[in-house]
Structure 1
Amino acid sequence: MHFDGGVMLADYRRYTRHKQVFLCFLIVGLVLAVMSSISVGAVAISLPDLFAVLTNNAPSRRLELIVYSIRLPQTLTAVVAGAGLAGAGTVMQSVLRNPLASPFTLGISHAAAFGAALSVMVLGSGTMGSALGDAVSITSPVLTLASAFAFAMGTACLITFIARTRGASPEVMVLTGVALGALFTAGTMLLQFFADDVQLAAMVFWTFGDVARTDWSDLVILSVVTAGLLGFHLMNSLNYNAMDVGDETAHGLGVRVARVRLMGMMAASLVTSVIISFVGIIGFIGLVAPHMVRQIIGDDHRFLLPASILAGALILLMSDMAARLVLLPHVLPVSIFTAFLGAPVFIGLILRRR
């Protein structure tokens, strides 16, 4: 049999071209969404004024404060949080071979939220206020993240163990995640029961999930950790491709399946813990973004992972803009919009399974 290298190369280029075009489309869309997010709100900022502010030629001190103290941190937080949750969801779906997996559906988000709440209320790693903007201020990020990660990782290990059990279907894992989510939600409610009025109001606001509560120091921690962990996932994209075919095939290709699965779940749980600790629970981004992207460019993680990361950032940013604009001058938490978006998609995925 004769193989034509030129034909194979042409086929490969056709295979990758539309994926690369889609990635470029997402990048352009995200840049435009970032500019729009900074511009819209209770105070509209025109593009000329925005460029003037960004180039240190602000027409007024008021506009400069709005951009640098409110809009820009909120916008970048939405981008980073959406990217991190989407990347975590994509990896969980791959290493668990479960199309319904995500930090929210598996209960990992709720576990991280309980760990963070426990750290803030019991271990004293944060301060609380009665307003939405200062509901919870993290004074000891290391302690808060360690507590959130400990509970998230414990949940992830349990889910991984169940995934390796003979006959464990995707639905069984999701039902386990629902049970664990209910358990940790009950734990959070127990903490709220013993809280005083200010603490109770703060914790209720915090559990809504909102990207408007971070400042620049929070954003730096969030960005560094998320970027590092997403980089780790991108470096393992070929391993995830091999594992999608099956554990035995992956072993034959030299992939250390158990190690890759554990490290992937640890990294996904850690990025989820960081995001939940600073912005609260934001659901369904890790489920919706990978499925939307997979329908367009397929399952090749070399393209699926970066595209899902960009799509997650774009979806959360667009949801945050909608939450800001729908009831002006009132601003809704973004988690409300992601729930409205994700719940129908999740139900549709369940109904499509045979």
Structure 2
Amino acid sequence: MRNNKVYEEYILRKKLVILALGLATIIAFFWSINSGATNMKFGETVRAIFGLGNKKSNFIVKNIRLPRVISGLLAGAGLSLAGCIMQNNLKNPLASPSTLGISNAAAFGANIAIILLGAGTVVSTGVGEVQIYNPYMVTVCAMIFSLISTFLIISLSKLGKFSTESIVLAGAALSSLFSAGTMIIQYFSQDTTKVAAVIFWTFGDLGRASWNEIFIMAILILISTIYFIYHRWDYNALDTGDDTAKSLGVDVERIRLGGMFMASIITAVTVSFLGIISFIGLISPQITRRLIGNDNRYLIPASAFMGSFLLLMSDTLARTIISPELLPVGAITSFLGAPLFLYFLIKGDIDK
């Protein structure tokens, strides 16, 4: 009886953590919508969400703030889940879309689509931005190269000479390789204005996705999330080691390959629509593990909430810190994530 009670308390604590993260994400959602260069009362913002505000507030919320915030919810959850699954599958707490080179691979593919294949052009604005003529071409190219990077990482992880630590170093090498490819494409481009705009595009900005692109992100991230949750017990088995997982009937190679494939799809669609957003996929799962442990039944949904919360708060800071000017959210996540990650390393808190 006592063991049952202890287990029930164990489950209750984890559910309460998920509930708290969910509530924090909801608060961040409304706070982010209510923040911006145009001052709006909270009640007016809520009414505008449902189309019940005045014409001006309805336009601002529906066309500017709501798409941005929903993009943050989706991208934060997706990148955090991608990092969580990569860390689990490769048994490396440093694994993430950015450290494994997958984000830079996706950006390389996106640059090929925009600069070489003519999927985008430049709109004359104060800062210059890329107008994507064919977002699907950009997404497909980003997916192709992110999958190439993923398969290279998986192949290297199977080699006996590569430890879990050296896999991240291999990812850093791949990241440099794809970054070099991107620079070469930009260097030989005849349109310097387009190159400048593409560089700005890679900074990461939640405000550039259209409703159609948000819908595509939502579908792909939802499918990936369902896949991860469906295989939560398999990921728990992988934590015990490959031999133990195989003895429990888990197809280790299929589960590992499927998880990495889905994580790569999330990374590719996020980078192709929003640009590179660093550290969310690395820091968010680490923070979540400290709150809820390694049980993937609870770690997966909690990581999704944590990623959404962190990215929404980062974007809110990016829009308000020097308002009315906007900072790229990718710069904010890197600025906040890097010292936090160094803190974990110094304390020796990175899970092994």
TM-score scaled by length of structure 1 = 0.94
Aligned counterpart, 1:165: 159
Verify: 1:109 aligned to 2:106, yes or no: no
Deviations 1:23-43 (A, max 9, x none): 110111111111111111111
> Could you say if the C-alpha distance between residues 231 and 109 of structure 1 is closer, same or farther in structure 2, counting changes exceeding 3 Å?
same
Any conservation in 2 of the 1:37–1:75 contact (CA below 8 Å)? yes
Q: Are 1:55 and 2:53 counterparts? A: no
Partner of 1:94: 88
Measured against aligned partners, the alpha-carbon deviations of 1:276-321 in whole angstroms (never above 9, x if no partner) come to 0000000010110100010111000010011001100000000000
Q: Does 1:37 align with 2:54?
A: no
Tell me what 1:78 maps to: 72
Q: Give the CA deviation at 1:130.
A: 4.2
Distance 1:350 1:156 in 2: 25
Cα 1:81–1:131 change in 2 (3 A) is: farther
Q: Specify the code of the residue in structure 2 equivalent to 1:184.
A: F
Opposite residue 338 of structure 1, the aligned amino acid is T
Residue by residue, what CA displacement relative to the aligned partner does 1:11-32 show, whole Å, maximum 9, x if unpaired?
Answer: 2211111110011101111111
Distance 1:134 1:99 in 2: 38
Q: SS of 2:278's equivalent?
A: coil
Cα separation, partners in 2 of 1:132 and 1:151, compared to 1, 3 Å: farther
Alignment of 1:8-27 (within 5 A): 8-27=3-22
Give the whole-Å Cα distance in 2 for the aligned partners of 1:123 and 1:339.
Answer: 30
CA distance in 2, matches of 1:99, 1:132: 41
1:246-299 deviation line (CA, Å, top 9, x unaligned): 000000000000011111111100110000000000001011010001011100
Indicate conservation of the 8 Å contact 1:99/1:170, yes or no: no
Aligned to 2:196: 201
After TM superposition, list the pairs within 5 Å mapping 1:1-354 onto structure 2. 6-58=1-53, 60-131=54-125, 135-195=129-189, 196-351=191-346, 352=348
Query: How many pairs align?
Result: 348
Amino acid at match of 2:238: M
Between 190-199 and 68-77, report the one with greater CA deviation. Answer: 190-199
Which amino acid in the other structure matches residue 53 of structure 1? A
| Bigger Cα displacement from structure 2, 224-233 vs 311-320 | 224-233
Distance 1:164 1:45, change over 3 A: same
User: In terms of mean alpha carbon deviation, does 280-289 or 217-226 score higher?
Assistant: 217-226
Shift of 1:132: 7.4
Query: How far did 1:154 drift?
Result: 1.1
Counterpart residue identity of residue 132, structure 2: I
CA distance in structure 2 between the partners assigned to 1:55 and 1:231 by the alignment = 28
Give the corresponding residue for 1:3.
Answer: none
Distance 2:226 2:121 in 1: 32
Please list the CA deviations of residues 205-261 of structure 1 after superposition, one character each: whole Å capped at 9, or x if unmatched.
Answer: 111111111121111111111111111111111111100110000000000000111
Structure 1 unpaired stretches of 5+:
1-5
The Cα shift of 1:349 comes to 4.5
Rate the CA distance shift 1:132–1:165 in 2: closer, same or farther, 3 A: farther
Q: CA RMSD in A?
A: 1.7
SS in 1 for 2:121: strand
CA drift at 1:64 = 1.1
Tell me the TM-score normalised to structure 2 length.
Answer: 0.95
